[in-house]
Amino acid sequence: MNKIECFNAVDDTIIEEELLSESEKHLINLCCKIRRAANSNNVVIDKTEHRDSDNLHLFRFIELCNYSVDEFVLRYLRNLQPFSLREDASQKYDKKIICVISLGFKYCLYVKVDTTQFCEIVVSFHEDQFYSHRGNEFSGLLLGGVKSEVGEFSSQTIAIPWGFKIFHIGLFCQCVKEGVFRCEPKILSNYLVNEANNFLADCLNNQQVFTKFNNLKQISFTSYGESILNEISILIDYASYCRNPNDVTFATIALTSRFEILQNFPDYEEYKKALLERYSKKIPDNERALIVLGLFI
């Protein structure tokens, strides 16, 4: 049990304060199991098309951004953080299966680790576009950092995979278990939103005045990165989110220049296919994104 002793000024007694709830301990355990699975030598990434056909477009995005799908997914899971995770118990039909949803994106990230397949560990990794996983109340729990006494507050630098990037973020945290820290969730979410706004500003050619994102749920997994597809993704997110005509105009002008570049690529049809799948009309609440995309494809 992870407890610290606190002085009770009322009756001079020592009380014990629990630093982690049972549900938080469970979530940390799931995250650590996924990390261990990603570090094993017998992981297979599930690349079969699922029933709802919503799981392959992310792999195409990854490949078109010049990553190996296997290396990308395993790197992400080796650094996975419990900060924004929630267990998806509806998919747990066997005790050897772990399913978690990362709530920190416009479309939630779905991760399933299945160890029932003899000696193989099968990993599913995709955006969960068809199902509505509500909530943005994050735990602020993080793995890593340097050794610290349980209960102690300290400055830590934590690696956090987010979209197509891994951020190394300096945070003031409390150690709640060996190797586990808690930060203020709002500080971390604000940092990630600010990174998206910085990327957006670059994509808008450093436009001085524009409406900014203010919530992680406005920004897609594919909108954190450095490739032209990541740029297109964040600009479509932005044009879909904004209601100010000037902001939509800024995004449209920026998208025009990106598509002019994209159309000169020898594999332009592959990019076009990936974008059409990414913003499928089957996806709920994708109408504005499809209208924007329809201006260029």
At 288, the pLDDT band (50, 70, 90 cuts) reads: confident
Mapping DSSP to helix (H, G, I), strand (E, B) and coil, where does residue 134 land? coil
pLDDT given for residue 276 in this prediction = 85
Enter the tokens of residue 4: 């610290």
Q: Is the pTM of this model over 0.75?
A: yes
Would you mind telling me the total number of residues written for the chain in this entry? 297
Please tell me the distance from the alpha carbon of residue 213 to that of residue 237, in angstroms, as a whole number.
Answer: 10
pLDDT score, position 93: 67
- Give percent of the chain above pLDDT 90: 59
Helices (runs of H) and strands (runs of E) counted in the chain: 8, 11
Q: How far is Cα 275 from Cα 259, in angstroms, rounded to an integer?
A: 11
Q: How far apart, in whole angstroms, are the C-alpha atoms of residue 118 and residue 228? A: 40
What would the two tokens of residue 38 be? Answer: 């990603």
**70 Cβ partners below 8 Å, 6+ apart?**
43, 45
Model pLDDT, residue 9:
39
Mean pLDDT, range 132-155, rounded to an integer: 83
Average pLDDT, the chain: 86
Q: Name the residue with tokens 């995005």.
A: 61
pLDDT per residue over 18-40, tens digit each?
A: 889 999 999 999 999 999 999 98
Average pLDDT of 173-180? 94
Give the mean model confidence (pLDDT) for residues 97-103.
91
Bridging pattern class, strands 121-128 and 108-114: antiparallel
Is the pLDDT at 6 greater than 80, yes or no? no
Residue by residue, DSSP assigns 32-77 as HHHHHHHTSS-EEE--SPPTTS-SSHHHHHHHHTT--HHHHHHHHH
Facing residues of 108 across strands? Answer: 128
Q: Give ∠ CA 297-216-39 in degrees, rounded to 5.
A: 90
63 alpha-carbon distance from chain centroid: 18
pLDDT at 104 over 60: yes
Residue 174, both tokens: 């409390």
* 251-278: pLDDT as tens digits: 999 999 999 999 999 999 999 988 888 8
Enumerate the domain spans of the chain: 22-128, 185-294
Q: How confident is the model at residue 79 (pLDDT cuts 50, 70, 90)?
A: very high
CA distance 281 to 13: 63
Buried b (16+ CB within 10 A) or exposed e, 79-104: bbbbbbbbebeebeeeeeebbbbbbb
| pLDDT score of 8 more than 50 | no
Candidates 67, 84, 77, 66; CA nearest to 44 is: 77
Looking at residue 68, its pLDDT comes to 96
Average pLDDT over residues 155-164: 96
Phi, then psi, of 110 in degrees rounded to 5: -110, 130
242 vs 207, which has greater pLDDT?
242
Strands 165-177 vs 43-45: parallel, antiparallel or unpaired: unpaired
Cα pseudo-dihedral 297, 108, 155, 26, rounded to 10 = -160
CA-angle at 86, arms to 83 and 92, nearest 5°: 140
